[in-house]
Structure 1
């Protein structure tokens, strides 16, 4: 990957795009992904959720992927939450074509600026409305300015001029002053384009980049100015061509906002916005960095080998402890099994010692008795005279008998050793499990590291698509289905969504349905200016009936009527108050009598994944052969959901059943009114 940092051109394009998207959005949550990266989760009315990534010294863009933050937010993140949670974004701007982006935020209690520096090691700084520094990712003192809490924030001294503010003569005069410097260096320093875009400007102007400034002609200055204006106007007019540049192996080489001469012979992947381009580019780049952060393949392999050696030793320790547990029990039991002989032996030493005989004399006497074949002397193999231990051999077992201890104390010693071995084995098992888990994790990381290092961008992105945020359609906030003719039918969930559905999403030609019972949602057919068929009317009526309170009380059918949106009003008779989600119906009602309370839930397969659909029977049958019918009943909650899931699985062919992935029964809940009912026969 070539792109290491943003140029001023990149930032200008991104900021231009972000103005149209994030201004007037509200900061819902703030996360800190790593030491330099924060994510602002933004909410904007009638827009999908927005996630703004800001990485000090590196990037700013919207992302469609969920980056997992640490469980405990760092202090900087907590400080940002304190000030900016719930704040509105009033403005985003690039500071004087520098690699600095400013977010202007406000709340009732004050205004703030969040400043992202994208040069050098970078920084993220929060200031108040008087530019006093409140927080910073990195506090430091520098030669030309300080980033210190409670001091006034100062921008770094500008090393170049803003090309948006320069005339043709300004640019010419500025370049001339560089004298014998190469023109590519002069443009980079004078205008802040950087070497990359300075080369592009000269390529478009057909001027050698190594040409000296004092050798340029008036025609050269004209061409340079026109090239600069082409780039600047593309930014301001949003005439961009956001692209991912691919090399011969389809690896991402660069991410660019404009069509560039440099890459005219390269493979290009065009996307709608530069934000999307940067999002995909840095997603792959992040994958590579994770591979590096997790250790290079060789390091990981060595660590796996080290763990294997540790595991081998831990297994040996565990085996030894298991043997010790068994052996010590056998020895303790052997003492009790031969308690008579052993007690006689111990009594001999105890009594003889009390009358004053030497231990050495007693040892010789016992060994003589052993030679004569006398019991219990035959149990003794030898003596440890220093420690007063008799080495016993019985039933093929060797063990030590302490002559100063009782029989019970000798047996207890082995049982205690067994107990200690048991305790050690518990620790050994725990240590072994930890090592095996570490080994498994390392092997997984190693595999992923190899995949990330060797995989192509599209392969990696496909794998990471699982973390991509799925933006919901507007109607997914409601209950909905597609009828058997293909029209969208939408129902409210509660009083608030009822109100929103009618006021915001219902067009003049859309029929509005309501069950003739208190406690029922409005149901709307989105006709797209078509005439709804009798089939559509019937299915919408069935949907309205099934979602009403009639289902809850166990009714078999209920009357439903439909009207035009123009027949709905919030004005009650004589100024009577009409509650949220309710409307006064005027004029003729079109009745659908005795609409059955009945819904179907189906299972469909798309791209090797299974998903659920729900709605009136005919609409579900149109899309799948694998469905169950639900009617009012007394089975509730998880019992009902589990039964529906099992019934659906049994509807599948055997081969398909075997490959069905595990799916949460909670996905079915949304399709069953009040999560109550029973399965009916088809």
Structure 2
């Protein structure tokens, strides 16, 4: 069965990753997507946009997927926005290795906490500086604590021990409390770590998981204690190896931060971080839920069609019984109202009248009299010689009389049939009411299911992939290209980005290019300790020349020089001011003379999308055969863009 929540160990790994990601970030917006899921949109300087998902009772992680929030935010979301929009995240931590996460927030001179409870049905609770409850996703009274507005928040009581703080002696003493159960369950209870990681501890300690406490030696306890410390060190030292576990049908069944013995032979997909793995797992899990819902919808539709057929049959049966009630009662009434004449007819077949005649002879006598329009013989339509019935027609009503019974017995028989039909009708009516209710319930379930999942799972997955936030690489904030040999070349856009590029993103072994003209950006060739080729030097020079003021002035070429980063300084000669984005260049300059001013713009197919790329002609030509060459001219930007698009 796929994972539905996280163990305390997994939460510890998540929090360790989140500390570096979200600490000192600012809350820009808060969304609530359903009853239990809140997303914080965060901003952190020099970082791509961050979205933190918190689902009560289930999960916390960063997400790269954009979901559609409801048009009208729920009340809980509005209150969080009121207090926390613009707040800074000061700290995130796990409470005592429990499935509880604390977010510490600050806004001006005020402080708050968000408590995320990831056990049971879960909760998200907003506290003030004094730990007083301001708002909660779920308010409730419990046996051991209350979640009530204006009350002081209390953590739930626990019997488990924090594995970070437990000593070997405390471990042994704690395990004695559950000495009558398997050691794997005993460790899981004592540390609150979950069965999966309790198994892993024992595997690393080389101890069978189903052994009892009484069968363990002191050396076994030592091994268990060391195994616990070894497991915890993976969090502290960030020695994680996140992976998504797949079943035989290639469906995700688990997401884990480290290699585990239980999944030693299982198929898996590796991920860079545990947060990324969780994000993928729950997106696919959402798709599975939607797939399951689609299957459920189909089943509900089939059930609805079946109940419709049953209701039609029940209505038809009920109608037939109503007709039977009326018909047989009417026949009984006719027999009584015409009892005199009908009794005369029956008397024709009495034993005394028969006097040795057979039934066939009697029937012929009646038909002969009928031809003469004699009464009561003219009432007879036909005879059923097998069952000895006379088929009668009176006032356009046809019925049969039993020739062996008197008139009152015949009438009683029809009344009895009418009574039984009424009883059947009452039962059929009750059954119909139950069926109608069942149909109404099915319709509501079907509508609810269809409202929840109006899109096919495959379409949802495609849409989510389209809306997945692409993590920007640091150099995408600048102008950049890659040389024919694969070296990254990055250029500033203005004085501020020039300053950032040189100070923050330039290493000692990189090369810095600059056109020999005022009003040119710095261009950095990232070497990453590799030997640079002449071709890459020329392409970087062409990039520097094309981005300089020489292009705007319509020049055909420009001189470009390159230096090492340690030749740049913000300190000019005595009394000389170095402006923002500018640097003094000291020492030897390496010149590239008469560099032609030309650029290419091309198009490539990347991540299922068409992407425009620009740079020196030889560099673009190495990546695509679809490109146009640009040279300085008088054409305005919009016209040029239009012409480039039409040309490609």
| TM-score, normalization by structure 1 | 0.65
- Residue 448 (1) aligns with residue 467 (2): no
Residue number in structure 2 paired with 1:584: 584
Q: Shift in Å at residue 101 of structure 1?
A: 1.0
After superposing the two structures, state which structure 1 stretch, 524-533 or 478-487, moved more: 524-533
Q: Deviation per CA, 1:629-651, whole angstroms, max 9, x where unpaired?
A: 11233433443222211111xxx
| TM-score, normalization by structure 2 | 0.68
Conservation of the 8 A alpha-carbon contact between 2:482 and 2:619: yes
After superposing the two structures, state which structure 1 stretch, 229-238 or 465-474, moved more: 229-238
Residue number in structure 1 paired with 2:543: 543
Change in CA separation of 1:254 and 1:526 when aligned onto 2, cut-off 3 Å: closer
SS in 2 for 1:130: coil
SS in 2 for 1:499: helix
Change in CA separation of 1:62 and 1:535 when aligned onto 2, cut-off 3 Å: same
Residue number in structure 2 paired with 1:571: 571
Change in CA separation of 1:76 and 1:293 when aligned onto 2, cut-off 3 Å: farther
Conservation of the 8 A alpha-carbon contact between 1:202 and 1:209: no
After superposing the two structures, state which structure 1 stretch, 496-505 or 224-233, moved more: 224-233
Map residues 67-466 of structure 1 onto 2, 5 A cutoff: 67-178=67-178, 180=180, 185-198=185-198, 206-207=207-208, 209=210, 211=212, 221=221, 224-225=224-225, 227-291=227-291, 296-298=296-298, 448-449=456-457, 451=458, 464-466=464-466
Map residues 611-622 of structure 1 onto 2, 5 A cutoff: 611-622=611-622
After superposing the two structures, state which structure 1 stretch, 629-638 or 122-131, moved more: 629-638
Q: For residues 593 and 134 of structure 1, what CA distance do their matches in structure 2 show?
A: 69
Q: For residues 607 and 97 of structure 2, what CA distance do their matches in structure 1 show?
A: 46
Residue number in structure 2 paired with 1:635: 635
Change in CA separation of 1:4 and 1:210 when aligned onto 2, cut-off 3 Å: farther
SS in 2 for 1:111: strand
Change in CA separation of 1:267 and 1:483 when aligned onto 2, cut-off 3 Å: closer
After superposing the two structures, state which structure 1 stretch, 144-153 or 585-594, moved more: 585-594
- Residue 527 (1) aligns with residue 527 (2): yes
Q: Shift in Å at residue 482 of structure 1?
A: 1.9
Q: For residues 264 and 534 of structure 2, what CA distance do their matches in structure 1 show?
A: 57
Q: For residues 44 and 67 of structure 2, what CA distance do their matches in structure 1 show?
A: 20
Change in CA separation of 1:114 and 1:625 when aligned onto 2, cut-off 3 Å: same
Conservation of the 8 A alpha-carbon contact between 1:54 and 1:116: yes
Residue number in structure 2 paired with 1:322: none
After superposing the two structures, state which structure 1 stretch, 143-152 or 528-537, moved more: 528-537
Largest Rg, 1 or 2: 2
Q: For residues 523 and 534 of structure 2, what CA distance do their matches in structure 1 show?
A: 16
Residue number in structure 2 paired with 1:431: none
SS in 2 for 1:164: coil
Residue number in structure 2 paired with 1:338: none
Map residues 656-675 of structure 1 onto 2, 5 A cutoff: none
Count of residue pairs brought into register by the alignment: 506
Conservation of the 8 A alpha-carbon contact between 1:570 and 1:582: yes
Q: For residues 451 and 121 of structure 2, what CA distance do their matches in structure 1 show?
A: 33
Q: For residues 201 and 590 of structure 1, what CA distance do their matches in structure 2 show?
A: 61
- Give the superposed CA RMSD: 3.8
Q: For residues 482 and 222 of structure 1, what CA distance do their matches in structure 2 show?
A: 55
Q: For residues 195 and 275 of structure 1, what CA distance do their matches in structure 2 show?
A: 22
Q: Shift in Å at residue 620 of structure 1?
A: 1.8
Residue number in structure 2 paired with 1:596: 596
After superposing the two structures, state which structure 1 stretch, 71-80 or 120-129, moved more: 71-80
Residue number in structure 2 paired with 1:504: 504
SS in 2 for 1:151: coil
Conservation of the 8 A alpha-carbon contact between 2:182 and 2:209: no
SS in 2 for 1:504: helix
5+ residue gaps, structure 2, are 306-446
5+ residue gaps, structure 1, are 306-438, 453-459, 649-682
Change in CA separation of 1:107 and 1:575 when aligned onto 2, cut-off 3 Å: farther
Change in CA separation of 1:269 and 1:504 when aligned onto 2, cut-off 3 Å: closer
